[in-house]
Amino acid sequence: MSEANEDAAIRLVIADDQALVRGALGALLDLEADLTVVGMASDGAEAVRRAEELQPDVCLMDIQMPGTDGIEATRRIRAASPGTRVLIVTTFARPGYLRAALDAGASGFLVKDTPAEQLAEAVRRVHAGLRVLDPVLAADSLFDGANPLSDRERQVLRLASDGRPAAAIAAEVFLSAGTVRNHLSSAIGKTGAANRTQAVRIAQDKGWI
């Protein structure tokens, strides 16, 4: 890429906790004459730092990463670098994640098996101020409805996912065991599950937690 073209190129940061995925995405997008990768990040917190430092045009963001996840990182990047658009690129095609990403300020949401040409075009469209959504996931999101769980219900369900008892969850979130059981019972009812284990699985599958 010539220096002149490089100056005019759309500048990208890629955030993904898998080095192979980061490298592959970077190599594919760098082949496009109007795109240039200026930074990489292995988790959400690093993505925020890179966005603040480099002020890229677009950040390609995974969702499930250690520490700060992609949803929270998107929210922070949009606050710290308003000129940076965020395009979610994830393996987890869940309606709840789509809604959460858009609420956090993302401009697009695609799955990782999107063909390279379509991904590059999505970057261009997001940079131009347009919204790009995986069509199947967008349709599913309309029919699945919004996340019915409260913040506290999501919190206790996440903690219940490893099988810990209500008393252990209560100690971590500074509530009584009875209150935790009430939140779990409410979450079970809202997800239509038979028990907490099933409620966790349903909430995870829909991207609610």
pLDDT at 147: 77
Q: Where is pLDDT greater, at 182 or 148?
A: 182
| Residue indicated by tokens 């040409």 | 117
The DSSP H or E segment spanning 127 is helix 116-127
pLDDT at 1: 40
In this structure, the answer to whether residues 159 and 66 fall within a common structural domain is: no
Q: Domain boundary residue among 143, 161, 183?
A: 143
Q: What is the CATH number of the domain that holds 21?
A: 3.40.50.2300
pLDDT at 144: 59
Q: Where is pLDDT greater, at 198 or 85?
A: 85
Q: How many domains, in total, are found in the chain? A: 2
Mean per-residue pLDDT of the chain? 88
| CA dist., res. 17 & res. 134, Å (int) | 22
Q: Domain boundary residue among 143, 162, 190?
A: 143
Detail the DSSP E strand segments found in the chain.
10-15, 35-41, 58-61, 85-90, 108-111, 132-133
In this structure, the answer to whether residues 169 and 121 fall within a common structural domain is: no
In this structure, the answer to whether residues 49 and 133 fall within a common structural domain is: yes
pTM for this prediction: 0.67
In this structure, the answer to whether residues 20 and 91 fall within a common structural domain is: yes
- Say whether pLDDT at 151 is over 90: no
Q: Domain boundary residue among 143, 175, 193?
A: 143
State the residue range of the domain holding 166. 151-205
